[in-house]
């Protein structure tokens, strides 16, 4: 059934686990997530970015997720809008039937300019007012995602800012977080701790100076009842990078967020972990391998099936690692 995200995050908090929130754009990704969730009896958060809605079309995405709900009636499913850039965008998603929305007021509506704190409070509060009246969950974001190695913001695929920032801007402040939660009454808070979107997060396996799990602990100590969200949380498995290179891909050396660091964060209030890149890498590796090994094939089902299987396998792994098995 379609449920609100609040419901799932409350259950995760009481039972001490985290829920991966997977970005979806197409049929095979939705199927992969649902197959894995069904096998493990895990709760599902699927999220669509503005780019996803543009690629698939709003109605296709809505009905893909509704098809998932109908096909697996025993699995609770959240349909979440990722990175809404304005109250109007969130309103549009709610009208479309999303059960959860993110108002990302860390940047202004242009998606580039770092917003003032007051602006963020104002737009987030507006979305909370309209969403809560309808039982829809709201995620907000405080702090700017970006790298503590380069001190630059996260500008992936044309959205986000590549401005040079200070430590204070790149790490969510616990006191300000407490004020933000109190003034907006949001349900879940996305925090900045040195992660960024996409495959190129860290130039080495991250240590505490560039991936601030310590900051998660400080925020959780100050806000023990707030569900925390980690964006940019793909782990960028080295075996997938190796496979992509083996079968003709060109990807540089890079590191993601280690699963054990996410597991530590889950012990300290992180309940939603956003993952897009890992599914992209898994599907790309599978398709590349397929075409190298089967140069004469041309039926899309033949290359989409291994891509779907690869996506399902990484999704299964994250459900298990974050403690979702049997929690649906």
Catalytic residues, by residue number, are 82
Which pair of tokens denotes residue 328? 């649906």
Size of interface with ligand G3H, in residues (CB under 6 A):
9
277 is an interface residue for ligand 13P by CB under 6 A: yes
Distance separating alpha carbons of residues 150 and 221, to the nearest angstrom? 28
Return the range that interacts with ligand G3H (CB under 6 A); candidates 46-54, 118-126, 307-315, 320-328.
46-54
Phi/psi of residue 85, nearest 5 degrees: -90, -10
Q: What 3-state class would DSSP assign to 22?
A: strand
- The secondary structure of residue 282, as a DSSP letter, is H
The C-alpha angle with vertex 281 and arms to 252 and 289, in degrees rounded to 5, equals 95
Among 53, 62, 231, 271, binds ligand 13P (CB under 6 A): 231
CB-nearer residue toward ligand 13P: 129 or 162: 162
Binding residue count for Zn ion, defined by CB under 5 A: 2
Tell the smallest beta-carbon distance from residue 197 to Zn ion (Å): 6
Among the listed residues 100, 184, 274, 284, the single contact to ligand 13P using CB under 6 A? 274
Contacts of residue 6, Cβ cutoff 8 Å, sequence gap at least 6 = 100, 137, 187, 188
Q: Is 83 in the site for ligand G3H (CB under 6 A)?
A: yes
**Which C-beta is closer to ligand 13P: that of 160 or that of 306?**
160
Q: Which of 6, 155, 197, 227 binds ligand 13P (CB under 6 A)?
A: 197
Assess contact for 237 and 255: CB atoms under 8 A. Answer: no
- Which among 137, 162, 131, 129 has a CA at the least distance from the CA of 147? 162
Other Cβ atoms less than 10 A from the Cβ of 163: the count is: 15
Of 231 and 316, which CB lies nearer to Zn ion in the complex structure?
Answer: 231
- The reply to whether 231 sits near Zn ion by the rule CB under 5 A is yes
| Per-residue contact flags (x/-) with Zn ion for residues 272 to 301, judged by CB under 5 A | --x---------------------------
Q: Of the two residues 241 and 262, which places its CB atom closer to Na ion in the complex?
A: 262
Should residue 155 be labelled a site residue for Zn ion when binding is judged by CB under 5 A?
Answer: no
Residue 240, phi-psi category: left (phi > 0), alpha (psi -120 to 50), beta (remainder): alpha
Q: What is the CB neighbour count within 10 angstroms for residue 185?
A: 13
Q: Which of 4, 29, 49, 137 binds ligand G3H (CB under 6 A)?
A: 49
From ligand 13P, ligand G3H, Na ion, none, interface partner of 234 (C-beta below 5 to 8 A by class): ligand 13P
3-state secondary structure 142-182: ECCCECCCCCEECCECCECCCCECCHHHHECCHHHHHHHHH
**Residues engaged in binding ligand 13P (CB under 6 A):** 23, 82-83, 197-198, 231-234, 274-278
Contact residues for ligand G3H, defined by CB under 6 A: 23, 49, 51-52, 82-83, 157, 197, 276
């Amino acid at each position: 059934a379609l449920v609100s995200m609040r419901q799932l995050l409350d259950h995760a908090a009481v039972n001490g686990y985290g829920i991966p929130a997977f970005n979806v754009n197409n049929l095979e990704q939705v199927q992969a997530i649902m197959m894995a969730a069904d096998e493990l009896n895990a709760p599902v958060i699927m999220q669509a970015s503005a780019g996803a809605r543009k690629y698939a079309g709003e109605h296709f995405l809505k009905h893909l997720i509704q098809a998932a709900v109908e096909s697996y009636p025993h699995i609770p499913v959240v349909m979440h809008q990722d990175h809404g850039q304005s109250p109007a965008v969130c309103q549009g998603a709610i009208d479309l039937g999303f059960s959860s929305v993110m108002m990302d007021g860390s940047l202004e509506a242009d998606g580039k300019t770092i917003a003032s704190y007051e602006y963020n409070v104002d737009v987030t509060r507006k979305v909370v007012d309209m969403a809560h009246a309808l039982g829809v969950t709201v995620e907000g974001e405080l702090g700017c995602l970006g790298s503590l190695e380069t001190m630059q913001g996260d500008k992936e695929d044309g959205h986000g800012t590549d401005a040079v920032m200070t430590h204070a801007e790149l790490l969510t402040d616990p006191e300000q977080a407490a004020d933000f939660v109190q003034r907006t009454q949001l349900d879940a808070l996305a925090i900045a701790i040195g992660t960024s979107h996409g495959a190129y997060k860290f130039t080495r396996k991250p240590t505490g100076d560039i991936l601030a799990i310590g900051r998660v602990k400080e925020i959780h100590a100050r806000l023990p009842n707030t569900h925390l969200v980690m964006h940019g949380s793909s782990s960028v498995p080295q075996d997938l990078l190796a496979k992509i290179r083996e079968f003709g891909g060109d990807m540089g050396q890079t590191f993601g967020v280690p699963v054990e660091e996410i597991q530590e964060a889950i012990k300290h209030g992180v309940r939603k972990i956003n993952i897009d890149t890992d599914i992209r890498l898994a599907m790309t590796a599978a398709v590349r391998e397929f075409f190298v090994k089967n140069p004469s094939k041309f039926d899309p089902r033949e290359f989409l099936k291994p891509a779907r299987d690869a996506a399902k396998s990484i999704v299964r792994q994250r459900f298990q690692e974050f403690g979702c098995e049997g929690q649906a």
